[in-house]
Chain A
Amino acid sequence: MITVKELTKRYARNTAVDHISFEIQKGQIVGFLGPNGAGKTTTMRMLTCFMPPTAGTATVAGFDVLEEPMEVKKRIGYLPETPPLYPEMRTGEYLEFVGRLKGLRKPELGKRVDYVCERCAVADVRDRLISKLSKGYRQRVGLAQAIIHNPEVLILDEPTAGLDPKQINETRDLIKSLAGDHTIILSTHILPEVEQTCEQVIIINKGKVIATDSVNNLQNRARGAESVLVEVGGRNGDLDSAAIQSRLEKVSGVSKVVFKEKRQARNVFEVESIKGRLMRGDLARAVVEAGWDLNELRPSAMSLEEVFLQLTGQPDAAPQVQLVAEGAGK
């Protein structure tokens, strides 16, 4: 559906996108993952024909973005980072305007507006001025705008940025429900978001693609070993860090224990397991049986930066990475 070959975008002083290539199959939902400034928005803008690439080619649904931009534009629905809304319009009016822009005509236009209002749950604010809408509604109107002409490809730039957790969930569900009819690319810098919504991930950093894989594979790759933070406290207030450490080291399945910090009468350790072994139950039992308090036992999340370091620096070390914090973001 989308083929990108050696796509490059150079500005006067820096290169925003540097020879990236990838391919996206029809009906897939693909996450574009990277820190801010990685080149996600620039890539998306080139795909939507907002800006021409400096070098390389990109084709959407078989049409080249440089050669036949009109054909590409007809087939793409685009939600930029800030939804392109006219505050002085009413929701329904706005959707009609966008529908007309995208080439819809009267009898069909009305049906599509009804449909996207229903689909994106904005029917109840149809007669409201956009300037009066909440952020969550605006985002959904933005999505409604993107799907109004039933495009084959949907490009969503950080669709959940700036929303509250409830709205984030609603937006994610909405995007997932759209996946059947459209090929979707969405960009994000939030790791759990990719895990929850996407099938395929393209990790991009400093303008280069550093990994392209399915979410499952990346997770498996990262889940080989687990790493947890253990916080141990004591009743009598006096704790021997060295004793705790040596006790933890004896737990079966543990490969490494690192003393992290001491907060009053509590000690925090980072414990890593041997690849493929579960150790959390044993860890908890060991602490409690030794007469200490187990205050906290949680997976230590790997920040995106660290994942990048792992992926770029030493690919072999990747299995040690706890890529996704379980429970986080859910």
Chain B
Amino acid sequence: MRNVWIIWRKELRSYFVSPVAYLLLAMFAVIFGFFFWNILGYFVFTSMESQMRGEMFPVNVNEQVIRPLLSNVGVIGLFFIPMITMRLFAEEKRSGTIELLVTSPIRDGEIILGKWLAALTLYAGLLALAALNFVFLFRYGNPDWKPLAIGYLGLLLQAGALLAIGMFISTLTKNQIIAGAATFGVCLLLWVLEWVGGYETATWASVLSYMSVVTHIESFSKGLLDSKDAVYYVTLIFLGIFFTARSLESLRWRS
């Protein structure tokens, strides 16, 4: 466990000594801020309108602001994840430092876990920054915090899964750009697979849309903790880490 911590610290440090982390944080803050402003604006507009018409529709901040916001964040995340994972192993392979890591008395699993946790921590940092916006909702409204927490848990799980996949892709190449582009492609595909379920009801279509990461974030952003969806993400995380481990091992047999 101590070794995981050593790797975690080193990885997180190298995110923050390069502009990568700051760039991601700034971009995420701006984009999330825009979404927040947009959705809140729409919410205020519709509630005023219904008030003027004298309708007494119940307005719900959780349903009408937090839920769409969280599903949007899930999609924005798809674009940020490749930038977080692309350097994880590609950079170590290119500069030769991978030789230092794997000839040190530390298990492959510890290296992988440390790197994955560091990536997840950075992503959690992005989400934490986004959470600043919610402070306003709690200040001027009265939303329920539990669905929000569950939504955040879902986002973390989704990110964990995609980060694990991105980390695996990063072990396949020495080139960060290739790793990033391939991860982006996979993330995008895992998103759009969901669309199939919109018009087709055959079994293959539901299988495809089940495979999409976005399908499973729905229940979380509603504030429901559905074990079926949690299992999906946890499985993806395990698969990603497992393949990373196999890939790292095969690197030693080949190179």
Binding site for B on A (CB under 8 A): 11, 45, 48-52, 70, 73-74, 76, 78, 80-89, 97-98, 100-103, 145
Contacts and interface: CB of A to CB of B under 8 A. Distances in A.
Contact of B99 (A52, A80, A87): A80
Contacts of A88: 14, 17-18
Nearest to B16: A88
B96 to A, nearest CB: 5
Contacts of A83: 96
Nearest to A69: B105
Q: Find the residue from A84, A98, A103 having the highest chain B CB count within 10 A.
A: A84
A296 B98 CA distance: 50
Contacts of A84: 95-100
Interface string B1-38: 00100100010011001100000000000000000000
Given A50-B102, A86-B14, A102-B105, 18 more contacts: A11-B254, A50-B252, A52-B252, A52-B253, A74-B105, A76-B103, A81-B96, A84-B98, A85-B95, A86-B95, A88-B14, A88-B18, A89-B17, A98-B100, A101-B6, A101-B100, A101-B101, A101-B104
A125 to B, nearest CB: 17
A101 B106 CA distance: 7
A84 to B, nearest CB: 4
Contacts of B255: 51
B99 A101 contact: no
B253 A51 contact: yes
A254 B48 CA distance: 112
Contact of B103 (A11, A49, A85): A49
A89 B3 CA distance: 19
Contacts of B14: 86, 88-89
B97 A78 contact: no
A102 B97 CA distance: 14
A140 to B, nearest CB: 16
B105 A103 contact: yes
Q: Which of B3, B13, B101, B105 has the most CB of A within 10 A?
A: B105
Contacts of B96: 80-84
Contacts of B104: 73, 98, 101-102
A50 B101 CA distance: 9
Contacts of B95: 82, 84-87
A201 B3 CA distance: 37
15 contacts: A11-B254, A49-B102, A51-B253, A73-B103, A74-B105, A83-B96, A84-B97, A85-B97, A86-B14, A86-B97, A89-B13, A97-B10, A98-B104, A101-B101, A102-B105
Nearest to A47: B103
B22 to A, nearest CB: 14
